Amino acid sequence: MKITTKGQVTIPQHIREELGLLPHTEVEFEIQEGAVLLRKAEGSQRRGRALIEHMRGRADAGLSTDQIIALTRREE
């Protein structure tokens, strides 16, 4: 694996999947005994959960499930 002229490397897919590294996930780098350690930034997962909790129930417009389905399917 090589570093690009911009100082970038590609994290192999199997590593991204195992660690749950999705696009825009914040990461941290640390140097340990001459090696670079990459890990998910603390709070990166909690931030997403906090956003979901904040947005939960916001789309409720007092519609029944049948009404929402009808709107989704453009039924009148």
**What are the pLDDT digits (tens) for 4-63?**
999 999 999 999 999 888 888 889 999 999 999 998 887 665 666 777 777 777 666 778
Question: pTM (2 decimals)?
Answer: 0.50
Give the per-residue pLDDT at 60. Answer: 63
Q: How far apart are CA 44 and CA 25, in angstroms?
A: 7
Chain centroid, CA 59 distance in Å: 21
CA dihedral 9, 15, 21, 22 (to 10 degrees): 80
Cα four-point dihedral sign 52, 54, 60, 65? positive
Give the per-residue pLDDT at 52. Answer: 75
Q: How confident is the model at residue 70 (pLDDT cuts 50, 70, 90)?
A: confident
